[in-house]
Amino acid sequence: MERLQKVMAKAGIASRRKCEELIAAGEVRVNGVTVTEAGCKVNPQMDHIEVRGLKIELEKKVYYLLYKPVGYITSVGDPQQRKTVLDLMEGISERIYPVGRLDYDTSGLLLLTNDGDLAFHMTHPSHEMEKEYEALVRGKVSKEALEKLRKGVKLEDGWTAPAKAKVIGEKGPNTLLQLIIHEGRNRQVRRMCETVGHPVLQLKRTRIAFLTIGHLKQGKFRPLLPEEVNKLKQIKIPLD
Ligand code: URA
């Protein structure tokens, strides 16, 4: 909890003094109620603060695409002191967090933002956002195994939705698969491949919707372009 005038000043409304004057003049509402006491404490993350009827934005919304290497957990902190993806986001002062997750031992694309609405939208279970993976799996993958992956595989938390699966290469006795899924269940690709008899040896996420790795280097990130943000926001959630 922080003092209202301090939160307002941080949001760039005016100096703290001037903000106190605005409060005293009845120009500020917190959660719909006019507040005239400058000492009033607010929660900048939760409370809806309006100045002259306009909601204040506390932090500008930022969006980054990170190429996560293996060996980082997708979390903002770890009780076991392992490195987190935030350790890779040098120079970013906003309080960003990952959208969805990649396993510690998975590399590839991960979005990070401070936009809770977009994060909710993108991780909504019923949307249709595609995620593409390259999985190096043990052994030679038969047509039957591919067909099972495509149709859906029975995991302990239920059948997976139909997926796209194809062989894109071979590495000695092992196979490189491309898998495209819509869901985001825990360790889903690993469990799907394991279930059809081909444990994953290496896993990389190569695409989220229309966002690809492109020129991004492992361990590096880039801001999304405004048009990319708008496009992501427009990916629809079915209203059923
Ligand atoms: N599926 C997995 O098994 N692991 C990931 O990190 C992402 C998808």
Dump pLDDT digits (tens) for 161-213. Answer: 999 999 999 999 999 999 999 988 999 999 999 999 999 999 999 999 999 99
Note the pLDDT of residue 239. Answer: 40
Residue with the bigger pLDDT between 122 and 219: it is 219
Give catalytic residues, as residue numbers: 103
- Whole domain around residue 180: which residue ranges? 130-208
Look at the alpha carbons of 232, 101, 94, 32 in this order and tell me if their dihedral is positive or negative.
Answer: positive
Dump pLDDT digits (tens) for 138-148. Answer: 999 999 999 99
> Domain of 144: which CATH number?
3.30.70.1560
Note the pLDDT of residue 128. Answer: 66
Q: How many domains does the chain have?
A: 3
Note the pLDDT of residue 237. Answer: 45
Residue with the bigger pLDDT between 211 and 94: it is 211
Dump pLDDT digits (tens) for 52-81. Answer: 888 887 778 899 999 999 999 998 888 888
Of residues 16, 87, 11, the one with CA closest to residue 47: 11
Asked if residue 100 is part of any domain, the answer here is: yes
DSSP codes, 175-228:
EEEEEEES---TTHHHHHHHHTT--EEEEEEEEETTEE-TTPPTT-EEEPPHHH
Distance in Å, CA 172 to ligand 1 centroid: 23
Q: Of 110, 188, 200, which is best to mutate to test ligand 1, by the most ligand atoms within 8 angstroms of its C-beta?
A: 188
Distance in Å, CA 190 to ligand 1 centroid: 6
* pTM check: above 0.85: no
- The finding on whether 103 has its CB within 6 A of some atom of ligand 1 is yes
Distance in Å, CA 141 to ligand 1 centroid: 19
- The finding on whether 189 has its CB within 6 A of some atom of ligand 1 is yes
Asked if residue 239 is part of any domain, the answer here is: no
Q: How far apart are CA 80 and CA 64, in angstroms?
A: 26
Q: Whose CA is nearest to atom 7 of ligand 1?
A: 102
Q: How far apart are CA 22 and CA 38, in angstroms?
A: 9
Q: Which of 83-92, 123-132, 165-174, 212-221 has the lowest mean pLDDT?
A: 123-132
Q: Whose CA is nearest to atom 2 of ligand 1?
A: 187
Distance in Å, CA 187 to ligand 1 centroid: 4
Dump pLDDT digits (tens) for 19-46. Answer: 999 999 999 999 999 999 888 999 887 8
Note the pLDDT of residue 236. Answer: 54
Ligand 1: nearest atom to the Cα of 131: 8
Ligand 1: nearest atom to the Cα of 187: 3
Q: Of 185, 205, 206, which is best to mutate to test ligand 1, by the most ligand atoms within 8 angstroms of its C-beta?
A: 205
Clarify whether residues 120 and 218 are in a common domain.
yes
Note the pLDDT of residue 126. Answer: 67
pLDDT at 13 over 80: yes
Clarify whether residues 198 and 93 are in a common domain.
no
Asked if residue 240 is part of any domain, the answer here is: no
Residue with the bigger pLDDT between 236 and 160: it is 160
- The finding on whether 203 has its CB within 6 A of some atom of ligand 1 is yes
Asked if residue 34 is part of any domain, the answer here is: yes
